[in-house]
Structure 1
């Protein structure tokens, strides 16, 4: 069978290439793409700025950052946590005041119901020649006279203190001019949080822990370790290092470092060595070859590196974008 062209439509088989091309053109289905070398961060670049580090530091998980960038991120996250905590405390105080108002209103309703029931009790004989008490106009303190006779003035004074003061007849919520607070509460159909169907969101208590932007684990300034790369050529300045593909070497074996070379950072000295050097030389004595300090397993930090763009590099470099799927 002869080889078909990419745009050939005479074949009886719907090929894989035609399927991928039609999927990309239709706008439906999940798209997968293998990242190339140009989309991969170098091992000596900051995880935040994606630029070669001038003063690099490493976290206990092996993520490399520029010192200025990671300290600025930590301070920004602390300010954001303080802002969220302030908003949470404000909402919590508003809910507490709302609960107090509801309890106060419930207590007043109970007192009013008690007074209405006690006012209906008559402790003196009725005059058959006088109209009923319900038809007599009640003004001033005459409404509570039967209660005074039955309970005494001292107990009534305590109950009346619970009632709000009344200065004449108060208008209802629908009477009177429109207030300023009601103007602010008008619904808005173009802002999602102000629509009539929108409900007040309940803020959760924010965590006070500052986390690493890459690993998501708790991070403190004291956890950062300074990193000292060994340059391939000491005479080259920093600008010249950026243009070179091979910039640094192992501090012990002088092997060139790249994304294809697994590296580790020794915590006492901050020197960068290859993992091969760690396994063959350093783990035998557990002594830092740069300054002679004793090492532990915690002092050997494996440096996180990017991929090389090759399929067999051991790093998954595949980007995936989910899109709607046509249902049959």
Structure 2
């Protein structure tokens, strides 16, 4: 009987923690939609329900999923000493994750894809841009989640580490974008990848999304090998950068091999770049993400 009473007591306590976390999560998820409308200077309800702007809907969906991914990093599975600390921790990490998602989008807009005005193109219902915007948010969230799980505690050092790790990862994402642009130009008579995306080439957007998300997964593998320590933060972050680049190159090589096998006999440049074959591009995306997931799981 005593064991039963103890079990019921523990379950009640866990239920309270669960209620706190899920309540904050739902509030933040709801706030994300309206925040996107505010930053895009549009009425989100009008864009979604009256104008039927699918591009805006996909962008919002990506951001909501991204925030959900970040929140899984805020919930470590270890309950805080009190309900108040649990609520503060969840709200602090969740809110900061939401901010970093927006910052990541800004970096993608102004640095990685600087020739695209994604906000205006999404308003114009450019679905390709909506897709890459969603993919960028998801990739950013994957990295934020990994850093949240990597750090320990809730203090100023923790937030410095999260911010620094986020910046390092964004640098890798920008580097990969430049490499992909160069490869696209080489295969297509010096055409511009960003211009092709702005013209609504959906197949390219799907392929690019897979590349961005797989890169984010590759970068997170560093968290399994580098131990968090506020005293050696600079060394740790340098390790993240080096390891992230190595893993990104490894994923890129293995993905290229896998694509040749999975899509044997298919000219990817001709099918995706020139004929805009969405089916082939989707297989490319699935292959890229699958290889990254398998490799990071093996590293873990």
Structure with more of its chain in helix, by fraction: 2
Q: Which has the higher contact order (CA 8 A, sep 6+)?
A: 1
Length-normalised TM-score, structure 2: 0.18
Q: Which has the larger radius of gyration?
A: 1
Length-normalised TM-score, structure 1: 0.16
